[in-house]
A = this chain, B = another copy of it.
Amino acid sequence: MDTPKPKAVVLLSGGLDSTTVLAIANNRRFETYALTFRYGQRHEFELDCARKVAKAQGVTDHVIVDIDLRTFGGSALTSDIEVPKGRSDEEMGSGIPITYVPARNTIFLSFALAWAEVLGAQDIFLGVNAIDYSGYPDCRPEYIAAYERMANLATRAGVEGSSRITIHTPLIQMTKGEIIKAGLSQGVDYGLTNTCYDPADDGRGCGKCDACVLRIRGFLHAGVPDPIEYV
């Protein structure tokens, strides 16, 4: 008889990175629970991608939580600030981008922690990347380590000493090209994913925002065609 798989909560946006992370968690023989947020994004298309990916990868459960980050504003992704396009490498590499959503990963991880505690899961997977998103404070290894430490003091398990929460960030030191190669080797269908900060109504990527530019380059580096269409 097989021993039961350990449960893991996987944060799934429906983008390239989180889709790859879900495949990695499944491949490591976790029973996966996918968690997606409707957080006031400009577009619902991202949620459709998350649903398709969760189904294609056979998660045990997929929950979409409504949280309205527009209440606070402060980011191009959740307010009327325009998404920047056609930025140079220098512009992309300097400072914190306007598409940074204040405390977003902290909020997402906190819901993942709540669900993990209810499920009895000790593992949370998050697709942050410190290379391509070096400008985001909440994508850095030192942030993840501090979050994990806090999480182990926040929960029942931490008090009772019965288990330990681990925040897995398997992509954190990978380039986009390496991420794509890793995902393809595990059978990920990137045709289901979307990456664009500002997609067209039919879901096609703009091809010009930072996220599209990094994705297109990643496929070039990986030496494989990007299966999605751009406007």
Contact = CB atoms under 8 A, between A and B. Distances in A.
Contact of A156 (B72, B96, B114): B96
A199 to B, nearest CB: 24
Contacts of A138: 153-155
A180 interface: no
Contacts of A151: 106
Contact of A149 (B68, B69, B146, B155): B146
Interface stretch (A12-20, A59-67, A182-190, A209-217): A59-67
A154 B105 contact: yes
Contact of A153 (B66, B73, B142): B142
Interface in A163-203: none
Contacts of A84: none
A219 interface: no
B118 A156 contact: no
Nearest to A107: B110
Given A107-B107, A107-B110, A149-B150, A115 B72 contact: yes
Given A71-B63, A110-B103, A111-B107, A146 B156 contact: no
Interface string A100-122: 11111111011101110110000
Contacts of A58: none
Given A67-B67, A69-B114, A137-B155, 16 more contacts: A63-B71, A65-B71, A71-B115, A72-B115, A74-B114, A74-B117, A96-B159, A100-B156, A102-B115, A107-B110, A137-B158, A137-B159, A146-B150, A146-B153, A147-B150, A147-B154
